[in-house]
Amino acid sequence: MQQMHMKRRNRWLEEYIGRTFAVICGWLIILITVTMIIFLAVKGIQSFTDSGLSLSDMLLSAQWDPDGTPPKYGALIFIVGSMLVSLGALLISAPIALALAIFMNFIAPKWFVSLLKPVLELLVGIPSVVYGWLGVTILVPLLREWFGGSGFSLLAGIIVLSLMILPTITSIAADALANVPMAYMEASYGLGSTRWQAISRVIVPAAKAGIATGVVLGLARAFGEALAVQMVIGNTMKLPSGLDSPTATLTSILTMDMANTINGTPWNNALWTLALILLLISFFFIAVIRLVGPRKER
């Protein structure tokens, strides 16, 4: 009797401790996230409250000269650079990722899929600095030879980023296609469709919500990537005039200037504002994922 009582007591303690620990972890994550957002928001608006900058000057001006007289903190170069390099990478990666996902699910033999999946996982795990270093060592000299100039360019950033986001989009798109019931394919065959017609007109449209989620996640990663892009894009304070033109992004200017400023100065406040802009763009991508992904799959 006493042993049973002890077992019940121990079981109750384990459940109580486990549940308490899980609740604390959950609230701790929420607290840390909210604290970071509040801190970033407070620091980010100091450009307007303390430094006297206007929102239009910050967002619409392409002049970034913190050491000038007077100093200028226009962020348009970095916003445009981030958008162009991210969308360019997406234009290259999304079609290739979808083709790979179709190949893995409906065309490739199982032994090849078992080989391809670890390769994609390996690509996801490669550090950003390795992508950047390979870009500087191999890609930039090739672009310099083909197009002239320094080779550090918007195109170099797009190619490196497209390689980095390709496995993310491929994995999510492959899972989305795999989750479509085989009855869809069989019904399509029953109506006389070829395999390609069944895939392109039935399977892919049925998985479009999951595929769109993968595309947005890839775009979000591309927008937030810093080190690899900074190493190959040239970091020039001007709007790009073409694919072979160097430019800068939000993440690259943050990584370059974060250690060169003093807390509370207008330059430092402007960098916090750029970080806040990056956070707001990330929130936008998260909202898009929640709208186009799970909502349509329910």
Predicted local distance difference test score (pLDDT) of residue 84: 92
pLDDT tens track for 86-98? 999 999 999 999 9
Q: Which of 43-47, 133-137, 257-261 has the lowest mean pLDDT?
A: 257-261
Tokens found for residue 97:
């990722």
Task: Report the pLDDT averaged over residues 54-69.
Answer: 86
In this predicted model, which residue has the larger pLDDT, 290 or 207?
A: 207
pLDDT tens track for 251-261? 888 888 888 88
Pick from 99, 118, 88: nearest CA to 219: 88
The percent of residues above 90 in pLDDT, for the chain, comes to: 32
List, in order, residues 6 or more apart from 141 with CB less than 8 Å away. 151
Report the chain's mean pLDDT, rounded to a whole number. Answer: 87
Rounded to whole angstroms, how far apart are CA atoms 280 and 82?
14
Other C-beta atoms closer than 10 Å to the C-beta of 275 total 17
The pTM (predicted TM-score) of the whole model is 0.83
Q: Which of 161-175, 225-239, 277-291 has the lowest mean pLDDT?
A: 277-291
Predicted local distance difference test score (pLDDT) of residue 294: 52
Exposed/middle/buried for residue 239 (C-beta within 10 Å: 0-12, 13-18, 19+): middle
pLDDT tens track for 226-253? 788 889 998 888 898 888 899 999 988 8
Q: Which of 6-20, 110-124, 223-237 has the lowest mean pLDDT?
A: 6-20
